[in-house]
A = this chain, B = another copy of it.
Amino acid sequence: MEKILSELAQLVGGEVIGDGGIKIVGIAPIEEARKGEITFIAHPRYLPKLTQTEASAVIVSPKVSEAEKPLLRVANPYLAFAKILGIYAHRPYEPRGVDQGAWVSPTAKLGERGSVYPFAYVGDHAEIGNRVILFPGVFVGDNAVIGDDSLIYPNVSIYEGSRIGKRVILHSGVVIGSDGFGFARDGRRSVKIPQIGIVEIGDDVEIGANTTIDRAAMGKTVIKRGVKIDNLVQVAHSVIIGEDSIIVAQVGIAGSSKIGSNVILAGQVGVIDHIEIGDNVIVGPQSGVAKDIPPNQVVTGTPPLPHKEQVRAVLTFPKLPEMWRKIGQLEAKLRDLEAGQDLKRKTSPQSSEDIHDPDQ
């Protein structure tokens, strides 16, 4: 593919400084970019590389005003990079139709221009939108719904009744709609609580490899529009995740917890059940969240504290043995001092009991 620089500028809403007519054939990181390619500088610290790169043009922030080569100035260079990479990486979609080696129920509805690979299974009354790709080993249960332009990678399992939006990407091994983990104890024995709810996934959601999203006991587990979930994440029954939130790898969210919109949960965070995390919260890696978190906080650690507070506590942690020893020394010295004072009190007419706090 080939674009000219001014075309790219128009596509990302930027401005060209220099020759907008040069041809751009690709995009690459600043150290790897060759002649004919465009590159980007997302952080001022890389500005010195501007003079060294072989790239024919550079995406920069509005702070950069001149260079030896053409610039594409834009408010968010990283975003512009993502969009331009999207243009060059795009491959035209050619529908495969339904492969003879697939199994599609006669009662399922398939949209137009789809691709159903060998060994994909589509259950009774399932509804598959237009241009959906079902790779080998994908299981779509009875009555499940998948919206237009969704991309379901190999060996994904979608249990019956799950509802998946448009432009959703599910990576290999994802499980949608497995039973929530719900049991009532009968003495020591666990009696299964039938999980009769569903999972509902909004438009533009992407879910990473081997992540699991359980169906609700009753009602719905909901992943709202634009949520991005990384690999090996556990989302339990009846959880709700708000729009545009980002859930990093190996996070676990227990039953019925409600995550706001625009939230970031960093890797390996655990959230216990029935918790509410407000909008725009950021939780640092490995945090254990056992209480509600109000909106607009950045917290880390267990228990989660405001980030700076946590860092201070964590940095003091290694001093614990020294603190314990110092406290013992202080106690000993104080005993000495008190003994000394007592001695004086007994021998000195000036000492007086009324200076002592009676609570002690």
Contact = CB atoms under 8 A, between A and B. Distances in A.
Interface residues of A, number: 125
Interface string A337-360: 111110110011011100111011
Contact of A139 (B159, B172, B262, B340): B172
A302 interface: yes
A320 B317 CA distance: 7
Given A184-B81, A232-B232, A321-B316, A286 B285 contact: no
A135 to B, nearest CB: 7
Contact of A178 (B208, B212, B319): B208
A344 B228 CA distance: 70
Contacts of A171: 175, 178-179
A106 to B, nearest CB: 14
A42 to B, nearest CB: 9
Contacts of A317: 303, 313, 317, 320
Contacts of A359: 332
Interface of A: 28-29, 32, 76, 78-79, 81-83, 85-86, 89-90, 99, 101, 103, 117-119, 121, 135-137, 139, 153-155, 157, 159, 169, 171-173, 175, 178-179, 181, 183-186, 188-194, 196, 206, 208-210, 212, 214, 218-219, 226, 228, 230-232, 234, 236, 243-244, 246, 248-250, 252, 254, 261-262, 267-268, 270, 272, 285-286, 288, 290, 302-303, 305, 309-310, 312-321, 323-324, 326-327, 330-341, 343-344, 347-348, 350-352, 355-357, 359-360
